């Protein structure tokens, strides 16, 4: 049997020789776009790649009706026609540990186009970086998974355990794609999700959920605006109140994995909309946001805390005593998840990181929810998050990835698959 260092060299060599192929695949995935509802084109590219690799393929459109019956379902839509999930299985020879390699294909919208210096769907390469919406979150990670599997295939390394590659929809909207995969029977002894962690290892994943606040005002003609009450001014009080809740909640976080994170479990206000005429005092503003949930609390605890906090806003401004803010939970939701730092998958990943990069990895808690929460809680599949993308560029204009990181991640992941799944060696004994 080949030694680990020897194997590392061979994998590294293969990845070097096939780097152009990997970059080309990533560029095509970026160019295919794949915002919610528009995933089919990118999934077709994945399908072709998995077919070329000779994997056992399962492609299906999640059944919205069935999903809605599941208590863990959360999405802003209930119909997934034209938005398929794909699973490709590299069958093991038996008796090894199985692993799910999970990556989402959906991307968030590009946002304000004025802030992009390039077409967000160009996949332009400059100075070793590739640019575009989704390149970091998380198509670069998905390509790292595929290149790791292809390297093992090319080097005739037969694993004992199954490697289940999943290209799922809906992660950005609450994980309906991964939930559908779990309900279809895809679970394993562990899972690895290459979300953009800046090559950090995240054994803990923050959960999160979306909320909507309805802030009331009282309309009047703008010329006599003192006769009305501006829902826009009142929404400013509400945003302030939410920021205070965020502060309280974060002061409680003592987990050392969160030590270096400025705001461990942020509450993000992402959308605002209100009023319908410049010359009228606005009487309704809707605010939408995302509440971070720590791995140490339940979604229900977090919800209850926000609900009771919003009831207290009348103490700050008596307007709200008569006109309470309506709080609504809607759309996406990501369960928090955690595995022990001592878990063998964390240990293997950490060791291989050192082999490939010759330095000690950073182990932290994730600043966002991932599909790892669903895999852990619903699929009983302990999950770890580790990927090549640039954390601070996720959901950002001019999103990019450092291409070298994609192939370093691929090498670390390939070695970890060998450790985890075990190698079947006919000639050995």
Binding site residues, a second copy, CB under 8 A: 108-109, 111-112, 114-115, 137, 172, 206, 208, 210-211, 216, 218-228, 230, 232-233, 235-236, 239, 262-263, 266, 268-285, 287-290, 292, 331-332, 366-369, 391-392, 394-397
Greatest CA span in the chain, whole angstroms? 90
Cis peptide before 388 (omega within 30 of 0): no
Nearer residue to a second copy within complex by CB, 82 or 270: 270
Q: Is 95 helix (H, G, I), strand (E, B) or coil?
A: coil
Shortest Å distance, C-beta 395 to a second copy: 4
Residue 128 CA to chain centroid, in angstroms? Answer: 24
Distance from C-alpha of 356 to C-alpha of 411, rounded to nearest angstrom? 7
Shortest Å distance, C-beta 222 to a second copy: 3
Neighbours of 359 (CB within 10 A): 9
Shortest Å distance, C-beta 148 to a second copy: 25
Nearer residue to a second copy within complex by CB, 185 or 223: 223
Residue 134 gets the label, from left (phi > 0), alpha (psi -120 to 50) or beta, of: left
Shortest Å distance, C-beta 51 to a second copy: 33
Tell me, what DSSP letter sits at residue 139? I
Nearer residue to a second copy within complex by CB, 323 or 405: 323
Q: Is 400 helix (H, G, I), strand (E, B) or coil?
A: strand
For 135-157, letters b (16+ CB in 10 Å) and e give bbbbbbbbbbbbbbbbbbbeeeb
Nearer residue to a second copy within complex by CB, 23 or 263: 263
Nearer residue to a second copy within complex by CB, 133 or 150: 133
Shortest Å distance, C-beta 393 to a second copy: 8
Residue 147 gets the label, from left (phi > 0), alpha (psi -120 to 50) or beta, of: alpha
Residues noted as catalytic: 106, 171
Going through 125-252 in order, the beta strands assigned E by DSSP cover 125-126, 129-131, 163-168, 191-193, 201-205, 207-216
Shortest Å distance, C-beta 367 to a second copy: 4
Please name which of 423, 428, 429 lies closest in space to residue 156, comparing C-alpha atoms.
423
Q: Which residue has the tokens 């919610």?
A: 36
Residues 276, 282, 284: CA angle, nearest 5 degrees = 90
Nearer residue to a second copy within complex by CB, 190 or 325: 325
């Amino acid at each position: 049997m080949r030694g680990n260092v020897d194997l590392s060299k061979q994998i590294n060599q293969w990845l070097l020789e096939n780097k152009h192929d990997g970059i080309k695949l990533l560029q095509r995935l970026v160019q295919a776009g794949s915002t919610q509802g528009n995933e089919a084109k990118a999934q077709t590219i994945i399908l072709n790649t998995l077919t070329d690799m000779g994997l056992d393929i399962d492609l299906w459109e999640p059944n919205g009706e069935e999903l809605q019956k599941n208590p863990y379902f959360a999405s802003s839509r209930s119909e997934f026609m034209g938005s398929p999930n794909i699973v490709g299985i590299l069958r093991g020879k038996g008796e090894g540990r199985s692993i799910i390699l999970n990556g989402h294909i959906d991307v968030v919208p590009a946002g304000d186009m004025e802030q992009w210096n390039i077409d967000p769907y160009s996949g332009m390469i400059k100075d070793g970086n590739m640019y575009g919406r989704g390149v970091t979150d998380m198509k670069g990670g998905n390509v790292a998974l595929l290149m790791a599997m292809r390297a093992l295939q090319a080097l005739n390394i037969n694993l004992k355990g199954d490697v289940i590659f999943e290209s799922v929809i809906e992660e950005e909207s609450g994980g309906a794609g991964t939930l559908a995969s779990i309900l279809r029977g895809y679970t394993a002894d562990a899972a690895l999700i290459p979300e953009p962690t800046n090559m950090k290892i995240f054994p803990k994943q923050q959960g999160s959920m979306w909320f909507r606040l309805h802030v009331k005002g009282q309309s009047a003609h703008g010329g006599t605006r003192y006769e009305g009450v501006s829902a826009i001014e009142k929404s400013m009080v509400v945003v302030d109140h939410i920021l205070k809740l965020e502060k309280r909640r974060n002061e409680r976080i003592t987990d050392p994995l969160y030590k270096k994170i400025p705001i461990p479990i942020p509450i993000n206000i992402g959308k605002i909309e209100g009023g319908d005429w410049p010359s009228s005092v606005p009487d309704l503003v809707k605010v939408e946001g995302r509440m971070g949930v720590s791995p140490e609390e339940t979604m229900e605890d977090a919800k209850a805390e926000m609900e009771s906090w919003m009831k207290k806003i009348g103490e700050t401004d008596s307007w709200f005593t008569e006109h309470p803010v309506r709080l609504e939970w809607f759309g996406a939701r990501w369960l928090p998840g955690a595995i022990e730092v001592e878990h063998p998958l964390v240990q293997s990943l950490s060791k291989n990181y050192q082999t490939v990069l010759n330095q000690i990895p950073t182990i932290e808690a994730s600043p966002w929810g991932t599909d790892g929460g669903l895999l852990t809680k619903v699929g009983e599949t302990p999950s770890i998050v580790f990927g090549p993308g640039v954390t601070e560029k996720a959901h950002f204009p001019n999103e990019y990835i450092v291409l070298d990181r994609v192939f370093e991640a691929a090498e670390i992941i390939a070695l970890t698959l060998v450790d985890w799944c075990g190698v079947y060696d006919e000639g050995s004994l």
